[in-house]
């Protein structure tokens, strides 16, 4: 397994480009199952989770070519199975369920287990599909879904679920009749999926709002589609400029979709301005000071930026409070930050951070994708050397992060651990 060795204390200066969004690319690639003709996807990030998705698509019978951030797919004879050893490495594999039920009327998908950040159930997905006429059996850890034909339904999610909204949207576009999704997720990645499906001929209105209406059509014809930039990668780079007291120009930074994050970083003392070249981020003269954050569904503060802003808070003056309202166990980065000298206490889903003057480099362990990003940020700011181990977590969601950061002054090497 690899580790990243980070020599901290260097302010980052220069231009850094954001790749395509992992969380938009995954559902959009799974949507290729719905198509009966070849499709091309541009600006696809080069990530472990993308490779896993393409492996699963090939197993299902969709041929995939992946060259220089362009993925080309061509559906063949579909085999509706997603095996455990693939699903367990990437929970988002469950997103093949909706398209397979829509195209074939049957699917066998290993029930995704939990992960480091929580139980991550898919009950909302299954409940919605049952309302659309699917029936499910559980056999040896696999969910086996069957339907003669999906039909439109009026679905009200118990909570806004990104994957649930995406999965059901992909099922509804070919269903018989109209589906209304209430309490739908409004994340930009859900909107990007809807835009792709509409470009193929789907009839969807209301995406980006809590109520989405989908009128089933008989078939979808493929298109060339460019994936939106990754707002979480962009937010991570904004935080890197602040925590290293540097100045970064971030190209392809989706400013509007990051509004809540940018507002919070500005509250903490960062100067973030939109320019014709990209978004300019630097720390103001007064330095970093604390703020409070509560994670919520979009457009609230994204849970996927919680670990990263907590790294910033750990070296801000005054105290900060983080209230993690989406996942039940998303503080795995806290004990590792404490090893670096951070002063953080946890009570339930709330963390209290008392800022310290600086962090000290240490051996730390990554536990999940965004926790890894938090530890990299802390390592960039810390005095001395930080070794972040188990960075396979990081490689799932950040394309060549050490290459991008080294190009703006960081001192990171990837080593065998
Ligand atoms: C997506 O996960 C993202 N993953 C996550 O990003 C992100 O943290 C999450 O949305 C929230 O924004 C992808 O898009 C691939 P949810 P998802 O369904 O769809 C509960 C990253 O770091 N829930 O919106 O799995 C669930 O337990 C990853 O890139 C149910 O109870 O998240 C959670 O508390 C991590 N039953 C809440 O809803 C269900 O059937 C939100 O989960 C579904 C969800």
pLDDT tens digits, one per residue of 346-373: 999 999 999 999 999 999 999 999 999 9
Q: Determine phi and psi for 56, rounding to 5 degrees.
A: -65, -40
Mapping DSSP to helix (H, G, I), strand (E, B) and coil, where does residue 29 land? helix
Residue nearest (by alpha carbon) to ligand 1 atom 38: 161
Positions of the chain with pLDDT under 50: none
Of 337, 344, 345, the C-alpha closest to 361 is 337
* Residue 294 CB contacts under 8 Å (≥ 6 apart), including other chains: 300, 301, 322, 323, 325
Tell whether 9 and 39 lie within a shared domain.
no
Tell whether 242 and 343 lie within a shared domain.
yes
Strands 178-182, 70-75: pairing kind: unpaired
Tell whether 190 and 299 lie within a shared domain.
no
Rounded Cα distance, 66 and 71, in Å: 4
Q: Are 124 and 156 in contact (CB under 8 A)?
A: no
pLDDT, position 114: 65
Tell whether 300 and 370 lie within a shared domain.
yes
End-to-end CA distance of the chain: 6
Instruction: Reply yes or no on whether 64 is catalytic.
Output: no
* Residue 347 CB contacts under 8 Å (≥ 6 apart), including other chains: none
Q: Are 264 and 28 in contact (CB under 8 A)?
A: no
Report CA-CA distances (Å) from 21 to 49, 192, 229, 398. Answer: 11, 10, 5, 10
Residue nearest (by alpha carbon) to ligand 1 atom 41: 161
Helix axes of 162-172 and 22-30: crossing angle, nearest 10 degrees: 30
pLDDT, position 201: 96
**397 CB within 6 A, ligand 1:** yes
Pocket test for ligand 1, best of 118, 130, 143, 161 (most atoms within 8 A of CB): 161
Give just the sign of the alpha carbon dihedral 269, 271, 272, 273. positive
Tell whether 158 and 43 lie within a shared domain.
yes
Structure tokens at 383: 């005095």
Q: Are 34 and 57 in contact (CB under 8 A)?
A: no
Rounded Cα distance, 304 and 373, in Å: 10
Residue nearest (by alpha carbon) to ligand 1 atom 15: 23
Question: Which CATH number goes with the domain that contains 400?
Answer: 3.65.10.10
Residues 165-175 have pLDDT tens digits of: 999 999 999 99
pLDDT, position 111: 82
Rounded Cα distance, 124 and 207, in Å: 18
Of 384, 379, 352, the C-alpha closest to 364 is 379
pLDDT, position 6: 98
**231 CB within 6 A, ligand 1:** no
pLDDT, position 52: 92
In this prediction the pTM is 0.96
Q: Calculate how far, in angstroms, residue 208's C-alpha sits from the geometric centre of ligand 1.
A: 16
Last residue within a domain, chosen from 226, 260, 293? 226
pLDDT, position 121: 84
Tell whether 117 and 197 lie within a shared domain.
yes
Q: Calculate how far, in angstroms, residue 99's C-alpha sits from the geometric centre of ligand 1.
A: 19
Tell whether 280 and 412 lie within a shared domain.
yes
Count of alpha carbons within 13 angstroms of residue 28, beta-carbon side: 36
Rounded Cα distance, 105 and 107, in Å: 7
Tell whether 359 and 382 lie within a shared domain.
yes
Last residue within a domain, chosen from 193, 226, 259? 226
Alpha helices in 2-47 (DSSP H): 22-30
Structure tokens at 46: 């080069």
Tell whether 238 and 124 lie within a shared domain.
no
Cα 91 off chain centre by: 12
**157 CB within 6 A, ligand 1:** no
Q: Calculate how far, in angstroms, residue 163's C-alpha sits from the geometric centre of ligand 1.
A: 6
| Strands across the sheet containing 39-42 | 62-67, 70-75, 39-42, 224-226
Residue nearest (by alpha carbon) to ligand 1 atom 30: 121
Last residue within a domain, chosen from 197, 226, 255? 226
**124 CB within 6 A, ligand 1:** yes
Tell whether 38 and 56 lie within a shared domain.
yes
Tell whether 200 and 66 lie within a shared domain.
yes
Q: Are 255 and 262 in contact (CB under 8 A)?
A: yes
**308 CB within 6 A, ligand 1:** no
Catalytic annotation, pick one of 64, 96, 115, 253: 115
Range of the domain at 40: 22-226
How many domains does the chain fold into? 2
Give just the sign of the alpha carbon dihedral 194, 199, 200, 206. positive
């Amino acid at each position: 397994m690899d580790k990243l060795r980070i020599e901290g204390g260097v302010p980052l200066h220069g231009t850094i480009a954001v790749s395509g969004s992992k969380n938009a690319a995954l559902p959009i690639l799974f949507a290729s199952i719905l198509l009966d003709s070849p499709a091309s996807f541009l600006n696809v990030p080069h990530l472990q989770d993308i490779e896993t998705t393409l492996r699963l698509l090939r197993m299902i019978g969709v041929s995939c070519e992946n060259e220089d951030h362009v993925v080309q797919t061509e559906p063949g004879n579909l085999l509706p199975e997603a095996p455990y050893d693939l699903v367990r490495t990437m929970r988002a594999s469950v997103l093949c369920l909706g398209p397979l039920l829509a195209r074939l009327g049957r699917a066998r998908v290993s029930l995704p287990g939990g992960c480091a950040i929580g139980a991550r159930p898919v009950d909302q997905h299954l409940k919605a599909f049952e309302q659309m006429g699917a029936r499910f059996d559980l056999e040896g850890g696999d969910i086996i879904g069957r339907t003669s034909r999906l039909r439109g339904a009026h679905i009200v999610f118990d909570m806004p679920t990104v994957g649930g909204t995406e999965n059901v949207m992909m099922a509804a576009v070919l269903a018989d009749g109209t589906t209304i999704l209430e309490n739908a997720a409004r994340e930009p990645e859900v909107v990007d999926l809807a835009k792709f499906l509409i470009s193929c001929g789907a009839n969807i209105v209301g995406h980006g709002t809590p109520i989405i209406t989908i009128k089933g059509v008989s078939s979808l014809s493929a298109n060339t589609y460019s994936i939106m930039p990754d707002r979480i990668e962009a937010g991570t780079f904004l935080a890197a400029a602040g925590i290293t007291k540097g100045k970064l120009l971030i190209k392809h930074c989706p400013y509007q979709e990051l509004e809540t994050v940018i507002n919070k970083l500005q509250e903490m003392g960062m100067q973030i301005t939109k320019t014709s070249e990209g978004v300019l981020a630097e720390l103001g003269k007064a330095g970093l000071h604390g703020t409070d954050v509560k994670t919520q569904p979009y457009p609230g503060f994204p849970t996927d930026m919680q670990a990263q802003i907590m790294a910033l808070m750990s070296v801000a003056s005054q105290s900060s409070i983080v209230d993690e309202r989406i996942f039940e166990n998303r503080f795995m980065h806290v004990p590792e930050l404490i090893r670096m000298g951070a002063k953080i206490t946890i009570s339930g889903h709330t963390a209290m951070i008392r800022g310290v003057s600086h962090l000290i480099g240490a051996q730390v362990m990554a536990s999940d994708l965004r926790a890894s990003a938090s530890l990299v940020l802390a390592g960039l700011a810390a005095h001395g050397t930080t070794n972040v181990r188990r960075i396979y977590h990081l490689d799932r969601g950040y394309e060549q992060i050490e290459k991008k950061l080294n190009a703006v002054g960081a001192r990171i090497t990837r080593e065998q651990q």
